[in-house]
Homo-oligomer: A and B are copies of this chain.
Amino acid sequence: MTDLLGTPLGVLAVGAELFADSLRAQACPVDQVDWRPPGIGEPADIAAVATDPRRDEANRRAVGLVLAAGAELVDVVPAGTALGLDRGKFLHAGPPLSWERASGPLRGALIGAALLEGLAGTPGEAERLLAAGGVVLEPCHQHRTVGPMAGVVSPSMWMFELRDPVGGGTAYCSLNEGLGKVLRYGAYGPDVLDRLRWMSAVLGPALQAAVRAHGAVDIKAIVAQMLQMGDEGHNRNRTGTLMLLRELLGDLIDGGGPEVAEVVRFVAGNDHFFLNLVMPAAKLALDRARDIPGATMVVAMARNGTDFGIQVAGTGDEWFTGPAQVPDGLYLGAFGPADANPDIGDSAITETIGLGAFSMAAAPAIVRFVGGDVPLALATTRAMYDITLGENPAFGIPILDFRGAPTGIDVLAVARSGVLPQINTGMAGRVAGTGQVGAGLVKPPAECFAAALQGLAAAVPGAG
């Protein structure tokens, strides 16, 4: 204090340059702080959406439906029959895009799927087929499906089938291949294809038999427990995987067959196996909030490696997109930032439901995988309460005294505060065929939210 009183006085100016300029003109020392009011989108759109008389009730309804939804694993089935996915049609992560605009890892995964399905004999042949439009490409989200990373689904792949016992909906996700050189990270070498063939021939049928013998597995209950066991359900799924295994183990062994030990070792050896059950569980709940006029809740955040897109409860199936960002994080082996592709995958559905980075406070050890530190993990979850509409009492975060996970991203709150949703994510190699290069933290581009706000404003009755 005494030091402060002995120091010459100065002026800090914030906001319009006008004030600082006047002071400078009077020879008064002044520091202009580089600051502008936070906020995303046009003020007129914010005003229109904020004053939409339907909004409060619509959001209350959206939150209620999302929180009430359940998620049970009811079957394991091939994509061809389950999704009516015909030969020559693939699904992919994120908003729609064509081969021309596809990034390396998505191209790599599509090439691999074409080889797997026997549509091409060599990677070169596959590339020509895809470039010529010889395969129909549609987003997973359009088919009650979510896909991690490239998210490519082709007819012969097996899928988890989840049902919401409350709302009655169904959602699908492929089986997780593990980390490293795998199709969803854009690798398509012989090992990758061999593993996928084994998954279709052995793993899928074994899981199908076990799930059918066991009966529905309550996935929402396992997710609730994960949060008490250091997982956040996006980049940490270690205990979720072990709890799923525990649930199915007896029936897997009863089902017998010479490959049981192999199946069990595969699942037990892949800490991310359960991600592919968290994702469809999240989609089941969020799909309940689709098509509620006036609701400003985000129902999907998804990336195709080129575009980041969001869908909102009040604006139907429209995608609001912006350029996908490159995550900042930790790299495997000798890989570095130059090797990383922009953000990719439907897995941000976990953040959209309040898991992943939104529940990072429940999983402080995740900072050793995605970067950052423990205070960041706590601060991230706390910040997400500022842009969400509800808290999920089923997903209690122990260290926050079991406060419910921040759930239901509010486009209006994001626009007003300028706080963007945080996402924990894997990083794919930029070059097709590389596979995983790391894991890190990323945010959506602000453009998505500005566009969604505009879409919501245009949908206000009496607007424009």
- Would A249 and B229 count as touching, CB distance under 8 A? no
Shortest CB distance A338–B (Å): 30
Q: Which of A108-116, A240-248, A431-439 contacts B (4 or more CB under 8 A)?
A: A240-248
- Would A268 and B249 count as touching, CB distance under 8 A? yes
Chain B residue contacts of A230, Cβ below 8 A: 228-230, 239, 398
Interface check A15, CB cutoff 8 A = no
Which of B229, B246, B398, B400 has a CB less than 8 Å from the CB of A268?
B246
Fill in one digit per residue for A121-145: 1 if any B CB lies within 8 Å of its CB, else 0: 0000000000000000000000000
Cα A451 to Cα B232 in complex, Å, equals 47
- Contact residues of A: prevailing secondary structure: helix
- Would B253 and A246 count as touching, CB distance under 8 A? no
- Would B268 and A264 count as touching, CB distance under 8 A? no
- Please provide the chain A residues from 194 to 238 with a CB less than 8 Å away from any CB of chain B in the complex: 228-231, 238
Shortest CB distance A254–B (Å): 5
Which of B249, B250, B374, B400 has a CB less than 8 Å from the CB of A401?
B374
Interface check A260, CB cutoff 8 A = yes
Interface check A402, CB cutoff 8 A = yes
- Would B264 and A249 count as touching, CB distance under 8 A? yes
Interface check A365, CB cutoff 8 A = yes
Interface check A36, CB cutoff 8 A = no
Size category, A interface: 20 to 34
Interface check A399, CB cutoff 8 A = yes
Cα A34 to Cα B265 in complex, Å, equals 62
Chain B residue contacts of A231, Cβ below 8 A: 229
Fill in one digit per residue for A252-272: 1 if any B CB lies within 8 Å of its CB, else 0: 011000001100110010000
Interface check A17, CB cutoff 8 A = no
Cα A79 to Cα B400 in complex, Å, equals 45
How many copies the complex holds: the figure is 2
Interface check A86, CB cutoff 8 A = no
Which of B242, B261, B373, B374 has a CB less than 8 Å from the CB of A243?
B242
Shortest CB distance A197–B (Å): 22
Chain B residue contacts of A246, Cβ below 8 A: 242, 245, 268
Interface check A364, CB cutoff 8 A = yes
Q: A399 with B364: in contact, given A242-B239, A261-B253, A268-B249 (CB under 8 Å)?
A: yes
Cα A265 to Cα B264 in complex, Å, equals 14
- Would B399 and A399 count as touching, CB distance under 8 A? yes
Cα A265 to Cα B231 in complex, Å, equals 24
Q: A365 with B398: in contact, given A230-B229, A245-B246 (CB under 8 Å)?
A: yes
Chain B residue contacts of A228, Cβ below 8 A: 230, 365
Chain B residue contacts of A375, Cβ below 8 A: 401
- Would A238 and B245 count as touching, CB distance under 8 A? no
Q: A260 with B253: in contact, given A364-B398, A401-B374 (CB under 8 Å)?
A: yes
**Which B residue sits closest to A396, measured CB to CB?**
B365
Shortest CB distance A376–B (Å): 11
Cα A239 to Cα B231 in complex, Å, equals 11
**Which B residue sits closest to A260, measured CB to CB?**
B253
Cα A361 to Cα B271 in complex, Å, equals 24
Which of B265, B364, B365, B402 has a CB less than 8 Å from the CB of A374?
B402
Chain B residue contacts of A401, Cβ below 8 A: 373-375
- Please provide the chain A residues from 435 to 462 with a CB less than 8 Å away from any CB of chain B in the complex: none
Which 3 A-B residue pairings sit nearest by Cβ, starting from the closest?
Answer: A242-B242, A364-B398, A228-B365
Add 13 more A-B contacts to A365-B398, A374-B400 (CB < 8 A).
Answer: A228-B230, A229-B229, A229-B238, A238-B239, A239-B239, A239-B242, A242-B242, A242-B245, A253-B253, A253-B260, A254-B261, A364-B398, A374-B398
| Listed A/B pairs (26) with beta-carbon separation below 8 Å | A229-B231, A229-B238, A229-B239, A229-B365, A230-B398, A239-B242, A242-B243, A242-B246, A245-B246, A245-B249, A246-B268, A249-B261, A249-B265, A249-B268, A250-B261, A250-B264, A250-B265, A253-B261, A254-B261, A365-B398, A374-B398, A374-B399, A374-B400, A374-B401, A374-B402, A399-B399
